[in-house]
Amino acid sequence: MNTDNKVCNSCASPLPIEGEMPVGQRGSTLFDKIWDAHVVQNVEDGPTQLYIDRLYAHEVTSPQAFDTLRDKGIKAFRPDHVIAMPDHNTPSDQQERIDDPVGRTQVETLAANCAEFGIKHFAMGTKDNGIIHVVGPEKALSLPGMTIVCGDSHTSTHGAVGAIAMGIGTSEVAQVLASQCILQSKPKTMRINIEGTLPEKTTAKDVALYIMAQMTTSGATGYAVEYAGSAIRNMSMEGRLTLSNLSIEMGSRAGLIAPDDITFEYLKGREYAPKGAEWDKAVEEWKKLKSDEDAVFDKEVTYKAEDIAPRITYGTNPGAGIAIDECIPTTDGMSDSEKEQFLAMLDYMQFQPGQKLEGTPVDYCFLGACTNGRIEDFRAFASVVKGKKKADSVVAWLVPGSWLVRQQIIDEGIDKILEEAGFELRLPSCSACLAMNPDKVPAGKLSISTSNRNFVGRQGPGARTILASPLVVAASAITGVVTDPRSL
Amino acid sequence: MAKEKFDIIQSTCIPIEIDNNNTDNIIPARYLAFTTRDPKFYGEAFMHDLRYDANNQPIADFVMNKPEFSAAPSKGVHEIIVGGQNWGSGSSREHAAWAIAGYGVRVVISNSFADIHRNNLLNCFVLPVIVSREFQLELFKTIAENPQAEVKVDVPNQTVTNLTTGNSEKFDINSYKKYCLMNAYDDIDFLLANKEKIEAYEK
């Protein structure tokens, strides 16, 4: 058994060499470059056997994968490429214990499996712990040029550092544990350009909700997306992580952003980042990680940043959204079947076609999740609530994405601002994103949430969810009703 | 999950005409906290919160509770689901595929599947069959008119046929995956047999 739990933090292969293209051959996309550098073999009339640099494992989607290895009597093939931590079942009020025996067993099973297979484990309640998709980038365990997988659809988050990062199923988790490879057909490529300057109080979350509303939640199915354009180049690393996180809500398993100075600045000096001369060498390699000028994407779309505004969702899929000052669409022009499903969705949400949602009372406000649980999100929230008071009618859960984020909130004095405004800072967890821990929204209650999914029952059976940015959630927490942060 | 070799499946269908039927619908998150692999456990949770109300009573007007569609799948009966557009979107939870397989379903037909769920189905030996929107809508119509209507899925020839109308379509599956399904062969076994290639790549 490997007990020292070393972490390998390099790509297995050198990146492709820059050079002259054969005449007539188109340039490569960022996705192509990373993919091609990780091909072990292309199975004839079949998938690609792709090498994986990093597997993240959490308690929910890994136990049956470890069982598979035990069934077959095999060890983890490259345990130093795997990092595990519990996040879904973790309570956010205290982390001394998990009261629910089922959730507790799952968390304990992860710890036992990691010990047995020699895998590094960031235990609940320790300073290393947090939501995988927050912890990975902030510890520089996710680096440009890597292939990264996890049994979690929001693994797309890590693509923001310039990596191929994809959610996989538990069978595939077992495959990676057993062989450090997966079998996948190469997706098509799509570039989404956001050009111009984002308007006031309009964030990466609003950009993602806007794209989904334009292209629907299956608009990018079958594609790996690259985000580009001036609005992306000017976006902070935290914002990029939010945008890449939501790629799966457009249907894309992966959402990449070419690494640049903002990426390097973010990663430099972090715990697992290369140091000294290694760092300089790495940055030189990473600078090659961009789509060639003459790269051709299977699909390319461009949106104007100026057209985007603070947004909210009104339905039970993340694409059912509007600008916060717009009305819910009417059924005009819908087919009978579309109309039936649309009305069923609004019936669940207790909204009407054509209704304006600004001013609608909310019961719960949630800041956190792998979408918006980073330091910038807490700074944004604090900027709105500073010197104001939380509405008495609202229950607010403010949940940092990791212990590092929580520490930074305290170091920056943000916790004091929140406290003075009547908010309590909780402990790192997936929390109210998916009703797998005590933070559940009760049936019928309306939640405005920075998480990623507004599905039926997502935040608790019968719970109703409006997705929004930290600024919109903060403004709504102050007034107790859906509120445009530009109006405060 | 049980691995039964695929050949020709001819069966009545369960029509689940819900677009964006996400994996949270297919199996709610609370069933994800278990560490078991028992197919029956996940099969019982399939579409749970649409099938049962808060008191765990069947919701009468949900399709799976209607007398003509409520029989558990067996050979020739309800082995096929005809689903709405963008089937299996959202969470990557393979539990959704376990629920479908555990319920006894062997084929899901839709005009579009979410990418991760589609892979998960294949890894659980459930065949996702992609058809045209027209074919899918015709199937819903056929089944609405006659719940006993049968569909034939011929894996060797990669065809799907609405036996009521006789309309047939070819569906895509790569040779490797077709071999896996027809021989009950797992990706993990393929990868373990290719260790030398992996080690060569690492050097």
Q: Exposed e or buried b for every residue in A109-135, given b needs 16+ CB within 10 A?
A: bbbebbeebbbbbbebeeebbbbbbbb
pLDDT 10s digits, A49-94: 999 999 999 999 999 999 999 999 999 999 999 999 999 999 999 9
Q: Which two tokens stand for residue A153?
A: 């659809």
Residue A11 lies in a domain: no
Residue A298 lies in a domain: yes
First and final CA of chain B: distance in angstroms? 36
Give B 10-29 residues with CB within 8 A of chain A: 17-20, 22, 24-25, 28-29
- Helix, strand, coil content of chain B in percent (nearest 5): 40, 20, 45
- Tell me the whole-structure pTM to 2 decimals: 0.96
Query: Which one, of B98, B104, B157, B159, lies nearest residue B130 by Cα?
Result: B159
Contact A106 B194 (CB under 8 A): no
Q: Which residues pair with A193 in a beta bridge?
A: A228, A302
User: What's the pLDDT at A257?
Assistant: 98
Contact B177 A435 (CB under 8 A): no
User: What's the pLDDT at A24?
Assistant: 55
Helix segments in A319-388, DSSP class H: 336-349, 369-372, 375-385
Q: From the centroid of its chain, how far is CA A386?
A: 27
User: What's the pLDDT at A17?
Assistant: 47
ipTM score of complex:
0.97
Longest Cα–Cα distance of chain B, Å, equals: 61
Give A 163-182 residues with CB within 8 A of chain B: 166-172, 174-175, 178-182
Q: Is the separation of the CB atoms in A218 and B89 below 8 Å? A: yes
Residue A21 lies in a domain: no
A12 contact residues in B (CB cutoff 8 A): 201-202
pLDDT 10s digits, B9-21: 999 999 999 999 9
* Calpha distance A291→A284 (Å, rounded): 16
**Could you tell me if A34 and A122 lie in one domain?**
yes
- Dihedral of CA atoms A272, A275, A280, A282 in degrees, nearest 10, equals -30
**Could you tell me if A297 and A405 lie in one domain?**
no
Identity of residue A129: N
**Could you tell me if A247 and A144 lie in one domain?**
yes
Per-residue pLDDT of chain A (488 residues; tens, 9 = 90+): 344 457 877 765 555 444 444 545 789 999 999 999 999 999 999 999 999 999 999 999 999 999 999 999 999 999 999 999 999 999 999 999 999 999 999 999 999 999 999 999 999 999 999 999 999 999 999 999 999 999 999 999 999 999 999 999 999 999 999 999 999 999 999 999 999 999 999 999 999 999 999 999 999 999 999 999 999 999 999 999 999 999 999 999 999 999 999 999 999 999 999 999 999 999 999 999 999 999 999 999 999 999 999 999 999 999 999 999 999 999 999 999 899 999 999 999 999 999 999 999 999 999 999 999 999 999 999 999 999 999 999 999 999 999 999 999 999 999 999 999 999 999 999 999 999 999 999 999 999 999 999 999 999 999 999 999 999 999 999 999 999 999 99
CATH number at residue A371: 3.30.499.10
User: What's the pLDDT at A12?
Assistant: 56
Q: Exposed e or buried b for every residue in B41-53, given b needs 16+ CB within 10 A?
A: ebbebbbbbbbbe
Residue given tokens 């047939």 in the structure block? B168
Identity of residue B173: I
* Calpha distance B177→B194 (Å, rounded): 17
Mean pLDDT for the stretch of residues B88-115: 98
3-state secondary structure at position A83 = strand
A187, A249, A457: residue with CB nearest B49: A457
pLDDT 10s digits, B151-196: 999 999 999 999 999 999 999 999 999 999 999 999 999 999 999 9
Contact B191 A185 (CB under 8 A): no
Residue A17 lies in a domain: no
* Calpha distance A114→A132 (Å, rounded): 15
Contact B187 A63 (CB under 8 A): no
Residue B171 lies in a domain: yes
Query: Which one, of A19, A279, A23, lies nearest residue A143 by Cα?
Result: A279
- Domain count of chain A? 2
Give B 142-181 residues with CB within 8 A of chain A: 174-177
Chain B nearest C-alpha distance from A187 (Å): 9
Contact A41 B197 (CB under 8 A): yes
Q: Is the separation of the CB atoms in A198 and A305 below 8 Å? A: yes
- Residue at a domain's end among A269, A302, A335: A302
**Could you tell me if A362 and A237 lie in one domain?**
no
Q: Are strands A464-467 and A446-449 parallel, antiparallel or unpaired?
A: parallel
Q: Is the separation of the CB atoms in A270 and A128 below 8 Å? A: no
3-state secondary structure at position B112 = coil
Helix count (H) and strand count (E) of chain B? 9, 7
Longest Cα–Cα distance of chain A, Å, equals: 68
* Calpha distance A150→A253 (Å, rounded): 11
HSE-up (13 A, CA, CB side) for residue A342: 18
Q: From the centroid of its chain, how far is CA A337?
A: 32
Residue B50 lies in a domain: yes
- Residue B121: is its pLDDT beyond 50? yes
Residue A9 lies in a domain: no
HSE-up (13 A, CA, CB side) for residue A168: 30
3-state secondary structure at position A110 = helix
B33, B92, B115: residue with CB nearest A103: B33
- Domain count of chain B? 1
**Could you tell me if A62 and A211 lie in one domain?**
yes
The enclosing H or E element of A178 equals helix A170-179
Q: Which two tokens stand for residue B96?
A: 């959704």
* Calpha distance B57→B41 (Å, rounded): 18
Query: With an 8 Å Cβ cutoff, is A158 touching chain B?
Result: no
Residue A24 lies in a domain: no
Q: Is the separation of the CB atoms in A21 and A27 below 8 Å? A: yes
Q: In Å, what is the CA distance from A108 to each residue of A63, A116, A122, B34, B95?
A: 10, 12, 12, 12, 20
First and final CA of chain A: distance in angstroms? 58
Query: With an 8 Å Cβ cutoff, is B90 touching chain A?
Result: yes
**Could you tell me if A45 and A109 lie in one domain?**
yes
Backbone angles phi, psi at A399, to 5 degrees: -125, 105
* Calpha distance A436→A100 (Å, rounded): 10
Residue A315 lies in a domain: no
Residue B2 lies in a domain: no
Q: Which residues pair with A345 in a beta bridge?
A: none
Range of the domain at B150: 8-202
Backbone angles phi, psi at A181, to 5 degrees: -135, 160
**Could you tell me if A254 and A385 lie in one domain?**
no
- Residue B2: is its pLDDT beyond 70? no
Residue A432 lies in a domain: yes
A45 contact residues in B (CB cutoff 8 A): 174-176
**Could you tell me if A185 and A63 lie in one domain?**
yes
DSSP string covering A326-340 = SBPP-STT--HHHHH
Q: Which residues pair with A395 in a beta bridge?
A: A364
Query: With an 8 Å Cβ cutoff, is B89 touching chain A?
Result: yes
Residue B3 lies in a domain: no
User: What's the pLDDT at A19?
Assistant: 45
Chain B nearest C-alpha distance from A250 (Å): 9
A178, A221, A253: residue with CB nearest B188: A178
Chain A nearest C-alpha distance from B86 (Å): 6
**Could you tell me if A293 and A399 lie in one domain?**
no
* Calpha distance B156→B178 (Å, rounded): 8
DSSP assignment letter at B20: T
CATH number at residue B42: 3.20.19.10
Range of the domain at A401: 327-487
Q: Is the separation of the CB atoms in A159 and A268 below 8 Å? A: no
**Could you tell me if A262 and A402 lie in one domain?**
no
| CA-CA-CA-CA torsion sign (A335, A337, A341, A343) | positive
Q: Is the separation of the CB atoms in A342 and A331 below 8 Å? A: yes
